[in-house]
Chains A and B, each alone.
Chain A
Amino acid sequence: MHANSLTTEQIRALIAKGKLKDAIFKVLGIFCLAVALLVIVLLVSDMVAKGSERFTVDFFLNFASRRATQAGILSAWVGSLLVMLVTALAAVPIGVAAGVYLEEYAKRNWITEIIEINITNLAAVPSIVYGLLALGIFVYQFGFGQSILSAGLTLALLILPIIIVSTREAIRAIPAMIREGSMAVGATRWQTCRYHIIPYAMPGILTGVIIGLARAIGETAPIITIGALTFIAFLPPVPYTTGADGVTAGMFDWVMSPFTVMPIQIFNWTSRPDPAFEVNAAAAGFVLMAMVLTMNGIAIYLRYKMRKNIKW
């Protein structure tokens, strides 16, 4: 059918039909978005409504207790933050370096292909499998025990594929001319990476890191497997301070400390006989969501700042 064989009315009808479909899709899109948002709003408002009476300073500064009203999340949030610190310190350098290598250095051959397929597959391995691996290797083989170090490294393994993949995506988005231009003026491959590729890819890498860390902070299964605790009423030692037991801590003593994390604390509270603990669980759930939200916020801010510095 050729357009010029149509009458004006027919063309109008065709346009109207197209516009109708447009409108239908728009409504459908808004509806889907609303469903997703509604779930989050319901979840958050439910947690706030249930847990609001626990949003006190004490809740953040108290250890777990058998009395719901006195129980707090001190050891849990400190544990979660420290584990995230170890995770980030381990996963970011390794993940970024691996991503840069695969994009910039590795030869295109079947070995690289296999490595790439495996990395993508690793991203889909259930987290409990990482927990089992870590129990064997970190906890027993390396003798790290049930420590912050073991947990941090386990979660680092878990999010490594996410960081590698996002690093590669970010590098691929950089136009080839940047690379070529750098090399054309005599820069080595390393100089190109150091001064161009990595800085320009940074916003994308950061997004990957934060998505990874946000996933890691909510993980429960691998942390339970390596033996995080349920009741722990003390914090890891602050470097170079002397605790109540008269022992002065070294610089890295905290990484070997026993710990608990937010998801485990929440899980424990939901499974207790006394229904009063449900309030604590809801409040802690909200705090955990706020932590994830803060991490995302930081990522958005950093991304915005870094993009401003990119000149092309």
Chain B
Amino acid sequence: MLNSKLVSALAVAGVALIGAQSAQAQVIKIDGSSTVYPITEAVAEEFQKAKKNAIKVTVGISGTGGGFKKFCRDETDISNASRPITKAEMDLCKTAGVEYIEMPVAFDALTVVVNPKNAFLKQATVAEMKALWEPAAQGKVMKWNQINPAWPDAPVKLFGAGADSGTFEYFTEAMVGKAKSSRGDYTASEDDNVLVQGVSRDVNAIGYFGYAYYAENTGKLKALPIVNPKTGKAVEPSAANVENGTYAPLSRPIFIYVKAKSLQKPEVKEFVEFYMKNGAALTKEVKYVPLPASAYTGNVEHIKKNKIGTVFGGHNEIGITIEDLMKREAKM
């Protein structure tokens, strides 16, 4: 049983190494999005402290897509995701017999930033962003006055997320209208600090990334208020504006997906309950926007009632507010 050891001796190319499939310590395996990583890492750190290291938690970063690949191959217990699970990933999980419970854990505000010395940009509309970032602009829209004649005759320097990130997917869908549809002639990096550095050093630069990177670098960057298409008012990215739903369409929920089978293990269940209990405070600490308390208790309810699946039906949705999300989760 627990103490029984399955020791298999393997002669690997002349070196005898023994792989012991013994009663390995309980390890909760988490992988996925780099956007959700800071929150999950904070929870894992606190959880291990609270448990005096009796339960081990590991967190990897392979991106939302890479995380779901491992999750649906039954390799991890929990997957961090900066967007809802896609249809293709749902099919993959289904084939492998992996069932999951979807839990929103926080909101993120994608932030459009410019250099603090930039005097002409006070706000931005979705139409302006589209004109700047759409594929048709590639090689053509090279100067600021091509978008708005009132803006200077100066070169546009673009900095954006790399094509594999959930951030790129969400921004293009929200601004250009189609996921992953973007011009290619911009400085792309999966490392947001490269983008922070780029924008902070060039007066004519504009870029976008998650709110946390702006919040830690407010001295070097200026965030642009985005005109809400519904109200026509320019709204600053901030925790309050994400909470009240006015910072749209660049607010997005981020999730963890927990494997239903893993929840039968007491340590995983305990970890997820710990996550929902302390998530709000830790989320704020790592500069994301926490959900209302009812969201976290709702997630715990979902475990109790074993509500398997997603409320998104396999596609991403733009401009969903916390309120929308709560209604949907409750209906499930």
Residues on A facing B (Cβ under 8 Å): 64-66, 86, 89-90, 93-94, 97, 142-144, 149, 153, 227-234, 237, 243-247, 249-253, 255-256, 258, 268, 270-275
Contact = CB atoms under 8 A, between A and B. Distances in A.
Contact of A270 (B25, B29, B40, B191): B191
A247 B25 contact: yes
B191 A233 contact: no
Given A66-B45, A153-B12, A233-B44, A275 B18 contact: no
A35 B31 CA distance: 43
B60 A245 contact: no
A184 to B, nearest CB: 32
A247 B15 contact: no
Nearest to A249: B22
A144 B23 CA distance: 15
B216 interface: yes
Contacts of A64: 41
Interface stretch (B49-57, B114-122, B254-262, B298-306): B49-57
B65 to A, nearest CB: 15
Given A94-B13, A271-B192, A250 B7 contact: yes
Nearest to A230: B61
Interface residues of chain A: helix, strand, loop or mixed (majority): loop
A231 B59 contact: yes
B5 A230 contact: no
Interface of B: 5, 7, 10, 12-15, 17-27, 29, 31, 34, 37-38, 40-42, 44-45, 48, 52-62, 70, 190-193, 210, 212-213, 215-217, 285-287
A94 B13 CA distance: 8
A274 B42 contact: no
A203 B318 CA distance: 64
A270 B24 CA distance: 33
A142 B17 CA distance: 12
20 contacts: A86-B17, A90-B13, A94-B13, A94-B15, A142-B12, A153-B12, A229-B59, A230-B60, A231-B44, A233-B53, A234-B53, A234-B56, A245-B25, A255-B17, A271-B34, A271-B192, A272-B38, A272-B193, A273-B217, A275-B217
Contact of A252 (B15, B17, B48, B62): B17
Contacts of B62: 227
Given A227-B70, A245-B25, A252-B18, 13 more contacts: A142-B10, A144-B19, A230-B37, A231-B58, A243-B25, A243-B53, A247-B23, A250-B7, A255-B19, A256-B19, A256-B20, A271-B190, A275-B216
Contacts of A244: 52-54
B141 to A, nearest CB: 29
